[in-house]
Amino acid sequence: MKSMQKRFLLPFLFLLLIGLGFCGLILGSARFSFEEVRAALGSGGDPMIRLIVLQLRLPRVVGAMLAGCGLAVSGLLLQSATGNDLCSPNIIGVNSGAGLAVMVMLCLFPMAFAGLPLAAFAGALATTLLVLGISVSASGHQSRSTVLLAGVAVSSLFSAGISFLSQLFPDALASYSAFSVGGFSGVKPADLTLPSLIILGGVAVAWILAPQLNLLCLGDEIAASLGVRVKALRLISLILASALCAAVVTYAGLLGFVGLIVPHLARRLVGHDLRILVPVSALTGANLVVLSDLAGRTLFSPAELPAGIFLAMLGAPFFLLILYQRRGRYA
C-alpha cells in the first residue's frame, strides 16, 4: 500500500467505527431514527428512548469497541513476542484459565455473579504466570517455542478441568455456557469502568513498546545486539497481552479469534511496522467486533445471537486458510 493510502487508513477506520457505533445505537429490536438517537445522547428526547440508548445500547457498543481493541492488540503482542503468527490469547491458555476460574466460582458460589469478572481476570493473569514459569523451568530460559508449548499444554489441561467440573456440577454449566460463547447483551456502564482503563492504557503501552518489538521481530540475537533486553521485553509483552485479554473477558466472556484474525488483516493493509500496526489493529478489531455484535442483534431480530458465534464463524475458516497458505512450512 502506498504511503498516501496508509496516511488515510487510520482516519477511515476511525470514521467507520463512529458510523458502526451509531448504527449500533439506532438498530435493534426497536429501531430509532438518527434524530431520536442524537436527542437521546444530548439532554432531551423521549425518556424511554433515552433509557434504551444510554443504559442498554451505548454500553454495549462501547464494550464491543473496547473488546475489539483489547483482543486485537493482545493477539498482535503475542504474535510479536513469540514469533508465531498463529498465536492468540486462547492458544497460550489465557481463555481457558479465565474459563476455569469462572467455572470454579460458579461451582463453589453459585449465586456470586458479581465475583465472576474478578475470577476471570485473576484466572487469566495466573495462567500467564504459570505458562511463563513452566516454559522457564522446562528449558532453563524463556524462549518462543517453550512458551507456545507450555501454553498449549496448560490450555488443554484447563479445558479438561472445565469439562470435569461441568459433569460434577451440571447446574453451573448453564451459567457458564453464556460466558464461554462471549457477547455483550448484559453489559452495564459500571462493568466498563476498570476494563476501559486497562484496555486503553494497555494499547498505549503497546504503542510505546512498538519500536523495540520491531527489533525483537528481527530475531533474539539481532535485537540483543541492538540493545533490546529480549527476555524482559518478551515477559512484559506476554503479561500485557494477558492483561488486555483478561480485561475483556471480565465483561464480554470468551470471545475467540479476534486476536488471530485482526493482526493478519492489519499486516496486509500496512505491513509489519508495529508503530502503525498497533493503532490499525486496535481500530480494525473494534470495527470487527462492533459489526459482529450488530449482525447478531439485527439479522435474526427479534431473536439475538451472541457476537462470539459470528466471530467463530469468521475465525475458524480464516485459521484454516492461514494453515493452508503455510502448509509448506509445517510439512
pLDDT of residue 143: 58
- pLDDT grade, residue 63 (50/70/90)? very high
Question: What is the pLDDT averaged over residues 10-33?
Answer: 92
pLDDT at 278 over 70: yes
pLDDT tens, residue by residue, 193-247: 989 999 999 999 999 999 999 999 888 889 899 888 988 998 899 889 988 988 8
- pLDDT grade, residue 67 (50/70/90)? very high
pLDDT tens, residue by residue, 291-325: 999 998 888 777 788 898 888 888 878 878 877 77
pLDDT of residue 1: 47
H, E, C per residue of the chain: CCHHHHHHHHHHHHHHHHHHHHHHHHCCCCCCCHHHHHHHHCCCCCHHHHHHHHHHHHHHHHHHHHHHHHHHHHHHHHHHHHCCCCCCCCCCCHHHHHHHHHHHHHHHCCCCHHHHHHHHHHHHHHHHHHHHHHHHHHHCCCCHHHHHHHHHHHHHHHHHHHHHHHHHCHHHHHHHHHHHHCCCCCCCHHHHHHHHHHHHHHHHHHHHHHHHHHHHCCCHHHHHHCCCCHHHHHHHHHHHHHHHHHHHHHHHCCCCCHHHHHHHHHHHHHCCCHHHHHHHHHHHHHHHHHHHHHHHHHCCCCCCCCHHHHHHHHHHHHHHHHHHHCCCCCC
pTM of this structure: 0.89
pLDDT tens, residue by residue, 282-292: 999 999 999 99
Question: What is the pLDDT averaged over residues 126-155?
Answer: 76
The residue with cell 501454553 is: 151
pLDDT tens, residue by residue, 80-96: 988 877 788 877 788 88
pLDDT of residue 176: 79
pLDDT tens, residue by residue, 181-200: 888 988 999 889 989 999 99
Q: Are 218 and 273 in contact (CB under 8 A)?
A: no
